[in-house]
């Protein structure tokens, strides 16, 4: 057995949207229960992500979520908020990992060993699993927000800056869950304040 037996994969979703939180997941997979079909969540259909999420939650040794709110994103910037969400996800795990593998270039400041892996969500199964369950978790949040703010189409675009979203912003102005530090929202909110 190698020195690192418990490896947590961590990924975040929701850096690009104009609304809602950034969400991270941390997953420690069980080597005795491999999961077929893990890959970067962006390469999977919504239906496939949903079905894999059920399997991941059943077979993983443990998993946890962390998030940073739209308010925190505005206060500390999206990169720092992403790292904070990752840190929260790792700290919420019921089992302490020996090593944490994070998708991307940057590592959150945590007490155990951590390594960043570019395109890790496509090459490391535990990171792929984290990317899938984080995406499903955040999508469900945005679908719930859509019921509160139905004019914006959040259930469709999940807060990303689509044509539909931008035209709704121009028409109705930003909601309380929009990220006011993001340029399109900032410009429109200034117009609404005039």
Question: Does pLDDT of 40 surpass 90?
Answer: no
Calculate mean pLDDT across residues 27-40.
93
Report the CATH number at residue 56: 3.30.420.10
Close Cβ partners of 22 (under 8 Å, ≥ 6 residues apart): 12, 13, 14, 15, 67, 68, 73, 78, 81, 82, 85
Instruction: Answer yes or no: is 65 within a domain.
Output: yes
pLDDT value of residue 5:
79
The answer to whether residue 155 scores a pLDDT higher than 90 is: yes
| pLDDT greater than 90 at residue 68 | yes
- Answer yes or no: is 41 within a domain: yes
Distances (CA, A) of 99 to 6, 28, 64, 79, 144: 7, 10, 16, 22, 34
Tell me the whole-structure pTM to 2 decimals: 0.93
| Structural domains in the chain (count) | 1
Mean pLDDT estimate for the chain:
94
Residue 175 covered by a domain: no
- Express as a percent the part of the chain with pLDDT over 70: 96
Of all residues in the chain, what percent carry a pLDDT higher than 90? Answer: 89
Confidence of residue 1 (pLDDT cuts 50, 70, 90): very low
Examine residue 185 and state whether it is found in any structural domain, yes or no. Answer: no
């Amino acid at each position: 057995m190698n020195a690192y037996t418990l490896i947590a994969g961590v990924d975040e979703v929701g850096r690009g949207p104009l609304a809602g939180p950034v969400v991270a997941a941390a997953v420690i997979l069980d080597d005795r229960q491999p999961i077929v079909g893990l890959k970067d969540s962006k390469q999977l259909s919504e239906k496939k992500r949903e079905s894999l999420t059920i399997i991941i939650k059943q077979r993983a040794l443990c998993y946890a979520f962390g998030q940073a709110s739209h308010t925190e994103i505005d206060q500390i910037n999206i990169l720092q908020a992403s790292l904070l969400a990752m840190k929260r996800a790792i700290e919420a795990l019921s089992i302490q990992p020996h090593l944490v593998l994070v998708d991307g270039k940057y590592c959150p400041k945590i007490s155990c060993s951590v390594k960043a892996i570019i395109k890790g969500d496509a090459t490391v199964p535990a990171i792929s699993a984290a990317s899938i369950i984080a995406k499903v978790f955040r999508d469900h949040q945005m679908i719930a927000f859509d019921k509160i703010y139905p004019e914006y189409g959040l259930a469709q675009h999940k807060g990303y800056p689509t044509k539909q979203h931008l035209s709704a912003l121009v028409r109705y102005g930003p909601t309380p869950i929009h990220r006011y530090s993001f340029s399109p929202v900032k410009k429109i909110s200034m117009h609404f304040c005039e």
